[in-house]
Structure 1
Amino acid sequence: MEEFKGELRKGPWSQQIREGIIEDFTRAAQACSIEDFNISIESIRNISSEAADWIIASKPEHWSDAIFRGCRYDHFSSNIVDAFNNWIPTKKEGSIVLMIDSLRMKIMEVIESRREACKVWPGHLTPTMEYKVEEEMLKAGKMTVLCSSDTVFEVRCNAIFVVNLANWECTCRRWQLSVLPCMHAVAVFNRTGRSFYDYCSKFFRIESYQLTYSGTIFLIPDMDTVDLSAGANLIPPPKPRTSDKPRRKRSNPNKITTLVRLCSRCKQTGHNKATCEALL
């Protein structure tokens, strides 16, 4: 996002237009489907094809929910990078032994503080997840739920969504991406008397958090005998010479095609409205 803002400042757009482009960028990052992702990108392309091309080139499979390969558990953070940068000694004369020992001590401090903090947490889920649960419950209050079977339900609000409790799925895809029931699933729980906590990932539970920080980092018994300055001033080996011949680019067969065209009639891929044969 920060890099994208920097690119936009190079352009001729007003502050209002830049803010609109950034809103579309945010919607693309938070989109749960390829279709919604494409809508946001096309909205940007209508203003600037260069900006849209920059976004596609930035490998959105690493930052967009709709395209990410795997499950993010609704978590975006670079805290670990910032922490390690602050933990590692910055003095040039520091040795690798000193760096490793500094990291070991900091990690011990973090584990101990978090292990103590979670002892007083109430409820079933960690505080962050409990807050998200409350948000989803507030959104689910005015939705209409229709029962199709014991596990399949139709939820009506601004649109129609299908919730499958057996598979932990909703057609909005938010439940699948975050592994935390979405507001449509919450509406079903309220309608059927089911417990929200029975349909949450075990990783969000307090006992899983406690287990994460229950391990032990063993002390180094002879650390006081180690010469921390040994090898600190050694000159690194020279870099190997590289050929001046440019490397030939190879196509990546696993590369994701980001922009997916959908049939406007049946919403499926592989054809358009003119060649659609689906029975509706």
Structure 2
Amino acid sequence: MRSKYKKNAKVAWMYWKVAKAYIEFEFQQVMKSLSRLHPEAITYLCEVGYDRWARAYFSSHRYNVMTTNIAESFNALVKHARGLPITMLLEFIRDACTSPVTPWVEDKIAKRVRKSLNLEVHPITTERYQVLCSGQYDALVDLTEHTYTCRKFQLSKIPCMHVIVVAKYMKLTTCLQWVHSYYSTVFYQTVYADAVNPLGDQSKWLHPEEATVIHPPYMHRRRVGRPANKNRRPSQKEVVEQLICSRCHQPGHTRQNYRNLVPVPSSITSSSRRKKKDGK
């Protein structure tokens, strides 16, 4: 969507809004607004299929966790311990999480706690509660079936603001018992659970008789900014724009990458010939 309708930023913004909708009613409302703004985008999304990109129609659970670009997340976590030896760095990673859930889940729950301050709870039974926002119906919470009409908890397995306000009404100090074990610190620390043995005394290391000099690799001069990812697979029916040279009007390269000799215009050639003739 970003590449197909990149000239219309509002279309891309509304696409993300409709893709992240939890319930079908909210999904349909945004789709109506998008159809009035750009009917061609609606046709394209319908051809792709709602279950492939829309959260409200996805058949399973989506945890909203990016599995790519882990380097930036890791650097943000260990930015205060980068200069430590590798063994101490691993110990820092193991001890970074002291709560039952990961820091990302803690931050998300804290944001939802702030959003739940204006909500009211009306009990129906000991396990079912009606949540009101500004005196109007907002959601129905069923703690027995673990079903909530906003569907945020069913899909993300993290307590939504409706569950959080019900936990406050029940005088509970925390709502972490409803967080899925996928987000627990135990799962997080299991990745780094293997033992790392020390290298020992450096004076007792065995060195080869013939020392091998390893030179650093040759690095080409990088351009400023993030390098372009040319290996990305195009999306379905995505039109890949081909480069056209403004000098020779041939595809596959640009004016800066033109390698052939620049042809001299006929007007310049004829004028130079006249000057030579007049000089003679």
Name the TM tier (shorter chain).
0.5 to 0.7
Structure 1 distance, partners of 2:111, 2:96, is 23
- Return 5+ residue gaps in structure 1 as ranges: 11-17, 83-109, 218-280
Alignment-derived partner of residue 189 in structure 1: 167
Question: Aligned partners of 2:5 and 2:160: how far apart in 1?
Answer: 34
Partner of 2:33: 43
Aligned to 1:23: 13
Q: CA 1:137–1:114 in 2, change beyond 3 Å: closer, same or farther? A: farther
Change (3 A) 1:66 1:193: same
Structure 1 Cα separation of the partners of residues 141 and 93 of structure 2: 36
Aligned position for 2:148: 170
Question: Does the 8 Å CA contact 1:118/1:206 hold for their aligned counterparts?
Answer: no
Counterpart Cα distance in 2 of 1:129 and 1:183: 13
Partner of 1:5: 2
Identical positions, percent:
21
The reply to whether residue 208 of structure 1 matches residue 187 of structure 2 is yes
Counterpart of 1:151 in structure 2 is: 127
Which residues of 2 match residues 109-128 of structure 1 at below 5 A? 116-128=92-104
Per-residue CA deviation, residues 159-216 of structure 1 (Å, 9 max, x unaligned), is: 4210111222210001111100100110000111223111110111111211244358
Say which SS state the counterpart of residue 41 (structure 2) adopts. helix
Q: 1:145·1:156 contact (CA, 8 Å) conserved in 2?
A: yes
Structure 2 CA distance, aligned partners of 1:180 and 1:134? 12
Describe the shift of the 1:196–1:75 C-alpha distance in structure 2 as closer, same or farther (beyond 3 A): same
Deviation at 1:150, TM superposition (A): 1.2
Which of the pair has the greater relative contact order for Cα pairs under 8 Å at 6+ separation?
1
Deviation of 1:24 (Å): 1.7
Question: 1:130-157 CA deviation, whole Å, 9 max, x = no partner?
Answer: 1011011111112110111111100001
Match of 1:265?
none
- CA distance 1:206–1:48, change in 2 (3 Å): same
Name the TM-score, length of structure 2 as normaliser.
Answer: 0.57
Query: In the aligned structure 2, how far is the partner of 1:120 from the partner of 1:167?
Result: 34
Q: Distance in 2 between matches of 1:72 and 1:54?
A: 23
2:157 is aligned with 1:179: yes
Check the 8 A contact 2:94/2:192 in 1, yes or no: no
RMSD after superposition = 3.1
Would the aligned equivalents of 2:6 and 2:12 in 1 still touch at CA under 8 Å? no
Contact 1:168–1:199 (Cα < 8 Å) also in 2? no
Q: Give the Cα–Cα distance (whole angstroms) in 2 for the partners of residues 171 and 114 of structure 1.
A: 42
Q: Count matched residues.
A: 183
Residue type of the alignment partner of 1:137: V
Return the structure number with greater helix share.
1
- What's the CA shift string for 1:202-233, capped at 9, x where partnerless? 1111112112443589xxxxxxxxxxxxxxxx
AA in 2 matched with 1:196: C
Amino acid at match of 1:176: Q
The structure 1 segments of at least 4 consecutive aligned residues displaced by more than 6 Å after TM superposition are 112-115
SS of residue matched to 2:37:
coil
Say which one has the larger Rg: 2
Q: Output the amino acid matched with 1:122.
A: T
2: CA distance, partners of 1:56 / 1:67: 12
- Residue 161 of structure 1 aligns to a residue whose secondary structure is strand
CA distance in 1, matches of 2:121, 2:153: 17
User: How do 1:1-280 residues align onto structure 2 when only pairs under 5 Å count?
Assistant: 4-9=1-6, 18-79=8-69, 116-157=92-133, 159-194=137-172, 195-214=174-193
Aligned partner of 1:252 in structure 2 is: none
Is residue 14–residue 30 contact of structure 2 (8 Å, CA) maintained in 1?
yes
Secondary structure of 2:145's partner? coil
Q: Give, in angstroms, the shift of residue 63 of structure 1.
A: 2.7
**What is the Cα deviation at residue 114 of structure 1?**
6.7
